[in-house]
Structure 1
Amino acid sequence: MEEAGVALTDDAIAKIRGMIQSGALPPGARLPTEQQLSVQMGISRSGVREAVKVLEAARVLDVRRGDGTYVTSLAPRLLLEGLGFALELLRDDTLLEVMEVRRMLEPVATGVAALRITDEDLDELSKILDDMRSAADDAERLIQYDAAFHRTVAAVTGNETLTSLLDGLSGQTLRARVWRGLIEGNSSHITLAEHEAIYHALRDRDPLLAQASALMHVNTSESWLRAVLAAPPEEPADSVAPQRSQRSTANP
C-alpha cells in the first residue's frame, strides 16, 4: 500500500511538472484546486496533496494559506537553493568531489567576470577584501566575507544559474572547515593573498590571469581539505598544516 501511495505521488508530481513545462502553468500562475487537479489528473486528492508538498519543498510551488497554490518564479537562485543544503549533508569523502566540480567551474567563471566587471563591482570587492583583512583571525567573519567575495565575482558573469551553482558548491560547512584549519595553522594570510591576486587580475581585466589565479585558489583549497580530512580526529589542525614551500595551503 505504501509503495502504491508513493507511485501515485510520483505520478502527480510528473503531471504537475509537465503542466509547468508545457506552459499550461507558467511562473506566477495559480494552480487549480486540489479537487480539480484530482479529477483532471485522475489521481486521488491525497496523491495530489503529497505532490504539492514535495514541489513546495523544491521551491517549484508556493502554497499561500487561505489564498491558493502558485507556481514560483522558477528562477535559478530559487530552484537551486536546496543544493547548498544538500551538500551540507555530504560525507567527508564526497566533499572532495564537490571541490573537483568547483575546480571545473569557478576558474572559468572568474575569467568571464574579468571581461564583464565594472568599476562598481571592483569597489565592492575591494571593500570585501578590507573586511577580510580586518577579520584575519576570526573564522566566522571570514566565512561570511569569503562567501561574499566569491558570490560577487560569480554574479559579475550575469549568469544566475552559474552563480547559484557556485554558491551551493561553496557551502558554509566546507568553508568553515577550511578557514578554521587555516587560522589554526597560522596560514590565513596566504589565502588572503590569493584573494588579492584574483582581485588584481579582475582589476586588470585580464581573463587568463583571472582564470589562473582562481584555479590556484581552488587547487590549494582542495589540498588543504585533503589534509584536514586525512588527519585523525584528535590531531590538532596545525600539526597537519601543509608546508608553505609545497604551496599546498588551502583557500576557501
Structure 2
Amino acid sequence: MATKSKEIGLKPIQKESVVQQVIDRLTEAMLTGALKPGDKIPTELEMSESFGVGRNSIREAIKILVYLGVLEIRRADGTFVRSGFTDSMIDPMIYGIILNEDDSYTELKEFREFMEQSIIRSALKKRTQEDVEKLYEKYCVLEEAIQAEPMDILKVFEADNDFHDTISEMIHNSLMFKINSVVRTLTYSLRLRTVTHVLENQLKEDLLRVHKDIYEVIQNQAYDRIDEVIHNSYLYDKLTYEDH
C-alpha cells in the first residue's frame, strides 16, 4: 500500500482547510489515474501519516466523498473508488446552480437547448427501429393524455417527460443522460408552468404538433430540421412569460 500512497501523491499538507485539501489530493489522484474506479484507497492511518494530518480530518474527507458518491465503504474490506455514476453525484451541481447569485435563467435555458439539440443529433445516429417504435408509443400516450376529457395536466406533463426521457435513452451515453437529467430537474417548474399555460390557453394541438415534429425528425433522421424543431418548441417558454 505504501507504493499506492506514493503514486497518488500523499505529501504533507500545508495550511488552509485540511479536509478540503485531503479531498483535493484524492480527487487529483483520480483525475491522473493513480486511483481508478474500483481501487482501494490507502487506510486512514496511512493517509494520516503521509499527509501529516490527524485521522479525524482524513475521516471527515472520506465521509464527504462517500456522501458525494465518489467513494464507497465496504465493511471489513476498506474504502474504494466507485465505478460509474450515482444520483448523489448530481446533487452538488443542482445546489450550486440553485444557489448561484447571478441570474442564471438565460444561461440555463441556452444550455437546455444545446443539450436537447445534441441529444437529438446523437439519437438520430444511434436510434434503432425498436427505439423509434418505443418513441411512437410514448407519443401516442402523450396524445391520449392531451385529448382526454377531462384533461389531467399532470398526466400530460408526465407523458411529456417520458417522451423526452425515451429520446435521452436512445443515445446510450450515461454521462449525457445524467447531465440532461440535471437540466430537466432544474427546469422542472418552468416546464410544468409552460405545459400548464399552453393547455389552459387552448393550445394543446400546438403542443402535440411539436412532439410529433420531434418524433418525425428522429424517425426520418432529418438532421436539417433539428434546429428548427427545437427552436419552435421553446416558443412555449416565451408564452409563459408574456403574461407577467
Fold match (TM-score > 0.5): yes
Mapped to 2, the partners of 1:150 and 1:92 lie a distance apart of 28
User: SS of the residue aligned with 2:79?
Assistant: strand
Whether the aligned pair in 1 keeps the contact of 2:121 and 2:223 (CA below 8 Å) is: yes
Whether the aligned pair in 1 keeps the contact of 2:48 and 2:58 (CA below 8 Å) is: yes
Alpha-carbon distance change, 91 to 8 in structure 1, aligned in 2, over 3 angstroms: closer
Please point out which of 109, 120, 140 is paired with 1:130: 140
Whether the aligned pair in 1 keeps the contact of 2:138 and 2:163 (CA below 8 Å) is: yes
Please point out which of 212, 215, 231 is paired with 2:228: 212
What TM-score, normalized to structure 2?
0.77
Q: How does 1:100-111 map to 2 (within 5 A)?
A: 100-111=110-121
| Bigger Rg over Cα | 2
Whether the aligned pair in 2 keeps the contact of 1:81 and 1:164 (CA below 8 Å) is: no
Whether the aligned pair in 2 keeps the contact of 1:115 and 1:206 (CA below 8 Å) is: no
Whether the aligned pair in 1 keeps the contact of 2:71 and 2:81 (CA below 8 Å) is: yes
Whether the aligned pair in 2 keeps the contact of 1:115 and 1:207 (CA below 8 Å) is: no
Q: How does 1:180-195 map to 2 (within 5 A)?
A: 180-195=196-211
Mapped to 2, the partners of 1:14 and 1:30 lie a distance apart of 17
Tell me what 2:31 maps to.
21
1:224 aligns with 2:234: no
Mapped to 2, the partners of 1:187 and 1:7 lie a distance apart of 55
Tell me what 1:176 maps to.
192
Looking at both structures, which has the greater relative contact order when contacts are Cα pairs under 8 Å and sequence separation is at least 6?
1
Q: Which amino acid aligns with 1:223?
A: K
Mapped to 2, the partners of 1:123 and 1:87 lie a distance apart of 36
Report the alpha carbon displacement of residue 70 of structure 1 after superposing the two structures with TM: 1.9
The alignment covers a number of residue pairs equal to 225
Spell out, residue by residue over 1:140-189, the C-alpha distance to the aligned partner (whole angstroms, 9 max, x if none): 33333322222222332343322222221112333323223333333333
Identity of aligned residues (%): 24
What TM-score, normalized to structure 1?
0.75
Q: Which amino acid aligns with 1:19?
A: A
Please point out which of 50, 53, 65 is paired with 1:55: 65
Unaligned runs of 5+ in 2: 1-13
Alpha-carbon distance change, 163 to 63 in structure 1, aligned in 2, over 3 angstroms: same
RMSD: 3.0
Mapped to 2, the partners of 1:122 and 1:224 lie a distance apart of 30
Tell me what 2:160 maps to.
146
Whether the aligned pair in 1 keeps the contact of 2:97 and 2:104 (CA below 8 Å) is: no
Q: Which amino acid aligns with 2:144?
A: S
Whether the aligned pair in 1 keeps the contact of 2:131 and 2:170 (CA below 8 Å) is: yes
Alpha-carbon distance change, 70 to 107 in structure 1, aligned in 2, over 3 angstroms: same
